[in-house]
A and B are shown apart, each in its own frame.
Chain A
Amino acid sequence: MTQIIRDQRIVTDDWCRLDDAAPLPAAGRVIVSLARWRAETPVLKARGDVGVAIPSELDVAELQDDLPHLPLIALYFVFIQPRPEGGRTFDGRAYSQARVLRERHGFRGEIRATGDVFRDSMFYMHRCGINAFEVKPGQDLDDALNAFKDFTLHYQGAADDPIPLFHRRRQADT
C-alpha cells in the first residue's frame, strides 16, 4: 500500500485514483478528475466519499458550490521545462489555490499535494493549507517529516496562521 503523509504523520493511503474510463465502485474512497466530477456531479456529490483532482490553472472559485460535498481536493505540482532554454522551474500555482480554498472558501476537507512533491517544498505547502502529501517516489518519508520543522516562525500570515509577525511586535510594544 502507498504511504503518504497526512497531518504530519506517515499513514497508508486510503484513497485511490479512479481512471476516467473505469466504472465507479459501489463503495470506497476515490479521487476523480475534474472532468469526471463535472460530468457526473449529482451522483458523485451524493456519495460524500469522492474527491476531485484539479489542474493548477483552475480558478477555485468555480468549485464554490461543490465544496460542501467534497471531502478531498488534490492539487498538482510539477517541474516544468519552459521554452526555449534554461533550467526547469517549479510550477507554484497550486500554492495560491490552496490558500484561497482554505482562507476564502473555508474548505475544511483534505487538501492533498500530488505530483513533484519533494521534501523541501513541503513546508510552504503546509503553510498554504495543504495537509496531505503524496510524496514523490525516491524521497525518504521519515526525513520528509522534518520539513514541518524547517521554520518555527513566519513573517506573513497564511492558511496555518493568519497573523503576520508585525502583530506580535505591536502587542509586545504595548
Chain B
Amino acid sequence: MYRYDTFDQQLVNERVAAFRDQTRRYLAGRITDDEFRALRLRNGLYLQRFAPMLRISIPYGLLSSRQMRCLAHIARRYDKDYGHFTTRQNIQFNWPKLEETPDILAELAEVEMHAIQTSGNAVRNITTDPLAGVAKDEWVDPRPYCEITRQWASFHPEFNFLPRKFKIAFSASTTDRAATMVHDIGVHIVRNARGEIGYTVYVGGGLGRTPMIGHKIREFLPEADLLSYCEAILRVYNRLGRRDNIHKARIKILVKALGPAQFAEQVEAEWKQIKDTPLKLERKDLDYFRAFFQPHPYEAKADDDATFTPALESDASFATWIRHNTREHRVPGYRIVFISLKARGVAPGDCTSAQMDALAGLADLYSFGEIRTTHDQNLVLADVKQADLYALWQALTPLHLATPNIGTLTDLICCPGLDFCSLANAGSIGIAQELSERFDKLDYLYDLGELQIKMSGCMNGCGHHSVGHIGVLGVDKEGEEWYQLTLGGSASNDAALGDRLGPAIARDRVVEAITRLVETYLAQRQEDERFLDTYRRVGLEPFKQNVYDTNH
C-alpha cells in the first residue's frame, strides 16, 4: 500500500499544527463561528446532535494493521470504545471532545492518517473498488490513480471552498463495484484498441435530494491528462455552480442546467488551456505510485493444500460462510474474505475496539497486514490462503465477525439516522435491527438471494437509499417518523434510481411492508431471478398492491 515519504508526513504534520492552533484560537474566542465551521469541516469535525463527530479518512478504503490498531486505540481512549465505518469507506467517531480532536489528529498522523477534507465543500475521500488488485475482472489496478488524485486534491488552494462537497470514484474492472455512476466524477480506467490506458469520464451523478445517474462527458481521456482534466471540471464547477441554494449546489444540478454536452464543451475549452502544463503525468510519475501497489508475495502452490476441501465437507457452517462471505481471488489458492459488520443486534458498520484489534492481528497473520473497507460498510481481508481460511473463520466467529450474510437482505446499508445525526427525520438503525431479527433464518435469507436494502434518515441520502434494490428514506410527518420506500435502484453497471412505491409508511408498519415486498418477489420470481430482475420484469404494481392492501 502507499507509504508516506517525508513530504507527505510533513504536510500532514503541518496540518495538525495548524488545526491545533485554530482550535486554540476558537476556544479563546478569537475565531468566529462561521470561520471555525469552515475550518473544522475541512478536518472532518461536525458538531452533531449529542457531541462532535470526527470523520477520519481511509483513502480508497485501504488500511494497514498498524492503522487499524491506532483506530482501536482512538476508540478506546477518546470515544466509547467503538467506531462506525461509513459508506464512503471512512470511519467516524461519534463521541470525541472538541478540545481533544487536535490530539486525535496528532495520533493519527503518526500512522499516516488524517481527517483532511472528509467533510466541507471540498474534494472528499477518493473511493474505489474494495477488491482493487485482487479481483479477477480487473484490467488495471486503480489505486495508483486514486493516490495521485488524492494528492492533487489535498489542500488544493483553488477548490477548498466549492459550492458543495465533491466526490470522485474510480473503477477499473468489468463490474463497477465503486458506484461510479452516482459520483460527481466517476472515472473508468480503460484501454483503447491500441492497448493504451485512458479514462472514460462521467460527471454529475449523485445521490441525496435530487439523485441522478452520471453523464459520460469523455469517451477516452489519455492517461497523462487525468489531473488537468479534473482541474478543468472543478474550475468550471467552482465558477458556475450554484451557491444560493444548498440543495441545488452539487455539480449534477449544473450539468443538468447546462446540459451534459454544453458542460462537456466548457470543460474541454478550459482543459485545452491547461493540459500542457506541469499537471501532465509522465510514465515515471505513474510508475512511482504503481510501485506501492505491487502484488503481494503470494505462494506459488497455495491451491495445493489438503485441508480446505475436507474442512468444507465436514463443517457445514464453515462451508456456508465460505459460500457467502468469500470470493474468488485472481491467484489460485487464495480467497477474498468479507468481514460482515452486520451481525444481529449491531448497528451496520459499527466495530468495537476489541474487534479492530483482533482484526489487525488476523490481518497480520493471514492477509499481509492489510484490511479494506467497503462502501457497503463491511471489511475485507483480501489475500487469504485457502489453507488458512478455517482458522480465520474460527477466530472470526466468537468476535461476531463471521455472520454469513454478505450480499443478502440483512447485509444492509444504513446511515446513523436519528440516533446520531442532527439532520435526521427518522431513525434507521432501529429498523435495521428489526429487519435482522425478522429475517434471521439463514435458509430463507439465502433463498432470497442478492437483495440490497439501503436506508437514509433524511433526503441527504448518506445511506444511498435511492440506489437500493429496496430503498428506505426517513421523512418527517408532523414530528413523527415515516418512511418512503423505493424499488429497483442499483449503483452497479445497471445503475438506476429506485421508483417510489407509494405514500410514506408509518414507523410501526415499515418492517411489515418490507416483508410484503419480499413475499411479492418470492411469489413472482421465475427460476433463480434476482429481486432486481423480477422487479424490472413485473414492475411496481404487484408490490404496491401487496403493501398497501390493508385487508391482508
Which residues of A does B touch, CB under 8 Å?
59, 79-80, 82-93, 95-96, 99-100, 104, 116, 118, 120-121, 123-125, 127-128, 140, 150-158, 162-170, 173
Contacts and interface: CB of A to CB of B under 8 A. Distances in A.
A170 B282 contact: yes
Contacts of B32: 118
B288 A155 contact: no
Contacts of A140: 30
A89 B34 CA distance: 8
A80 B243 contact: yes
Given A95-B160, A128-B157, A153-B14, A120 B151 contact: no
A127 B162 CA distance: 16
9 contacts: A83-B245, A87-B37, A92-B121, A92-B158, A118-B35, A140-B30, A156-B151, A157-B279, A165-B151
A158 B159 CA distance: 11
Closest 3 A-B residue pairs measured CB to CB?
Answer: A92-B161, A127-B157, A124-B157
A115 to B, nearest CB: 13
B391 interface: no
B365 interface: no
Contact of A85 (B14, B35, B246): B246
B154 interface: yes
Nearest to B162: A92
Interface string B1-30: 000010100110011001000100000001
Given A82-B244, A167-B278, A90 B284 contact: no
B97 interface: no
Nearest to A155: B151
Nearest to A60: B239
Contacts of A128: 157-158
A153 B10 contact: yes
B273 A104 contact: yes
B111 interface: no
Given A84-B245, A153-B14, A89 B151 contact: no
B5 A89 contact: no
Contacts of B154: 155
Nearest to B17: A150
B277 interface: yes
Given A82-B243, A166-B151, 10 more contacts: A80-B243, A90-B34, A90-B121, A92-B159, A95-B159, A152-B10, A155-B11, A156-B157, A165-B7, A168-B7
B120 to A, nearest CB: 9
B239 A59 contact: yes
Given A83-B245, A155-B11, A163 B278 contact: yes
Among A128, A150, A157, A164, the most chain B Cβ lie within 10 Å of the Cβ of A164
B38 interface: yes
Interface string B276-310: 01110110110010000000000000000000000
A96 B243 contact: no
B238 interface: yes
A82 to B, nearest CB: 4
Contacts of B506: none
Given A92-B160, A92-B162, A173-B288, A155 B239 contact: no
A158 B5 CA distance: 22
Interface string B133-172: 0000000000000001001101111111110000000000
B235 interface: yes
B288 A166 contact: yes
Contacts of B22: 120
B245 A82 contact: yes
A164 B151 CA distance: 10
B451 interface: no
Given A92-B159, A170-B282, A152 B238 contact: no
A152 B238 CA distance: 26
